Amino acid sequence: MKKREAKFTIKRFLMTNIVPILFILLSAFAIPISQFSANYLIQEMLIRLARNSFLVLSLLIPIIAGMGLNFGMVLGAMAGQIGLILITDWKILGIPGMALAAIIATPLAIALGWMCGTILNRAKGREMVTSYILGFFVNGLYQLVVLYFFGYLIPIRSPELVLSRGYGIRNAVNLLGIRNCLDYFIPVTIHGVKVPLGTFIVIAIFSAFIVWFRRTKLGQDMRAVGQDMEVARSAGIAVERTRLISIVISTVLAAYGQIIFLQNIGTLNTYNSHEQAGMFAIAALLVGGASVAKATLPNVFVGVVLFHLMFVVSPMAGKYLIGQAQLGEYFRVFVSYGVVALALAIYEWRRAQERAYARRMFRGEA
């Protein structure tokens, strides 16, 4: 069989990196129009890198295992939020509060991840849509727990948290006790720009973990499963178990990611915060040049910067260009969902091309 040449061509490069190139061009156009200072943009990007990177990183492991983009990460986000609600009620402050929220969230995320992984093992080839719908299903359960069980079955003492009827959690939970406690754990300011060094250290440790994990036996098994499940099974790899573990790890990490995200924001929107977590993290990863089948650490960081740069500059660019900041808001929602659609379409198109190529090879036409 002839080996397919992976020669560098401009067309191939453009096709592979179409999404980041598009975003770089849009940013290059929008930044001067927005009239933001360099200091402001750098500060915003550092904050958003700290806020979002962990969530986006949690998506990498299921991609290695060939399960695509884990829309089910919202399950982990919900587990993280339950931990945060409890520590807010118990008035546990600072880093110990965050750590305790993570410990509370861990068993919940493991259970939800296990459930998600088991279902996804029964829906091979349709993991993304299944996990997406699973997110809606668990969101219903989450709302039931938070709206009816908290304060009724699960004791909540703080009157600031409980709805006036005596049970259920209020729409907004103030996380003042843990706000920025990790970000500015080590206070560093360079030329007036505050660096959230504490969170960056955690992200660096986690990135190193992913690099190490890919080289472990389990990491290699995941790569093998991701490349071809049948071949991996023939090689004696427990395919279903490996896929299940990848989803459990991703869900647990998403829980931690949501805790880091919300300590940066400082307010928990009880019924909505988790809903967008998956979509925005996935969009950021795709903007960084990742695909459904392949994602790397640089994709994560490039994606978060480009995606959030667009988020910051587009409302102001819209205001100066057309006189309406609202247009920029529409634009960024359109962009975040549009980029997911574009990446999925390109992925399917490439797969169809590869199948066609394989058929031609089989017939001896290529």
Partner 1 sequence: MKKRLIMQIGLVVLLIVISIFLYRIGKGFQLIVENKNYTLGDVVYEAEGPVRVTFDDEIQLDLKKNRADLAILVGYGKHKIKVEVLDNNGNTIRTVEKTFSLSGKEGDLVSIPALLNGSDKWIFRRNVT
Among 14, 103, 188, 361, binds partner 1 (CB under 8 A): 103
Among 20, 62, 80, 97, binds partner 1 (CB under 8 A): 97
- Taking CB under 8 A as the rule, does residue 184 contact partner 1? no
Closer of 91 and 359 to partner 1 (Cβ): 91
- Taking CB under 8 A as the rule, does residue 114 contact partner 1? no
Of 101-109, 159-167, 199-207, 241-249, the segment contacting partner 1 by CB under 8 A is 101-109
CA distances from 134 to 90, 123, 156, 159, 274 (A): 31, 12, 28, 33, 14
The tokens of 72 are what? 């089910």
**Least distance to partner 1, CB of residue 202, Å:** 17
- Taking CB under 8 A as the rule, does residue 91 contact partner 1? yes
Residue 218's DSSP bridge partners are none
Among 9, 35, 96, 209, binds partner 1 (CB under 8 A): 96
C-alpha 22, offset from chain centre: 21
**Least distance to partner 1, CB of residue 103, Å:** 5
Fill in the amino acid letter for 8: F
**DSSP codes joined into one string, 128-181:** HHHHHHHHHHHHHHHHHIIIIIBTTTB----TTTB-TTSSSB-SEEE-TTTTTT
* Span 153-182, contacts to partner 1 by CB under 8 A: 177
Please work out the total of residues on this chain that contact partner 1, with binding judged by CB under 8 A: 15
Closer of 255 and 292 to partner 1 (Cβ): 255
- Taking CB under 8 A as the rule, does residue 76 contact partner 1? no
Exposure on the CB side of residue 68, measured as CA atoms within 13 A = 20
Between CA 93 and CA 91 the distance in angstroms is 6
How does DSSP classify residue 189?
Answer: E
The tokens of 162 are what? 């409980």
**Least distance to partner 1, CB of residue 101, Å:** 10
Q: Which of 317, 307, 315, 363 is nearest to 52 (CA)?
A: 307
Of 88-96, 200-208, 312-320, 336-344, the segment contacting partner 1 by CB under 8 A is 88-96
- Taking CB under 8 A as the rule, does residue 95 contact partner 1? yes
- Taking CB under 8 A as the rule, does residue 92 contact partner 1? yes
> 239-265 and 217-227 helices cross at what angle (nearest 10)?
110
Question: β-pairing, 193-195 with 188-190?
Answer: antiparallel
**Least distance to partner 1, CB of residue 106, Å:** 8
Closer of 63 and 102 to partner 1 (Cβ): 102
Using CB atoms within 10 A of its CB, is residue 223 exposed (0-12), middle (13-18) or buried (19+)?
middle
Of 84-92, 209-217, 259-267, 290-298, the segment contacting partner 1 by CB under 8 A is 84-92
Of 91-99, 255-263, 284-292, 333-341, the segment contacting partner 1 by CB under 8 A is 91-99
Residues 6+ apart with CB under 8 A from 212: none
- Taking CB under 8 A as the rule, does residue 93 contact partner 1? yes
Task: Count other C-beta atoms under 10 Å from residue 13's C-beta.
Answer: 11
Closer of 121 and 158 to partner 1 (Cβ): 158
Among 16, 41, 90, 319, binds partner 1 (CB under 8 A): 90
- Taking CB under 8 A as the rule, does residue 345 contact partner 1? no
Are the C-beta atoms of 76 and 131 separated by less than 8 Å? no
**Least distance to partner 1, CB of residue 90, Å:** 7
Of 33-41, 94-102, 111-119, 202-210, the segment contacting partner 1 by CB under 8 A is 94-102
Q: Tell me the backbone φ, ψ of residue 316, rounded to 5 degrees.
A: -70, -40
Among 99, 111, 154, 316, binds partner 1 (CB under 8 A): 99
Binding site for partner 1 (CB under 8 A): 87, 90-97, 99-100, 103-104, 106, 177
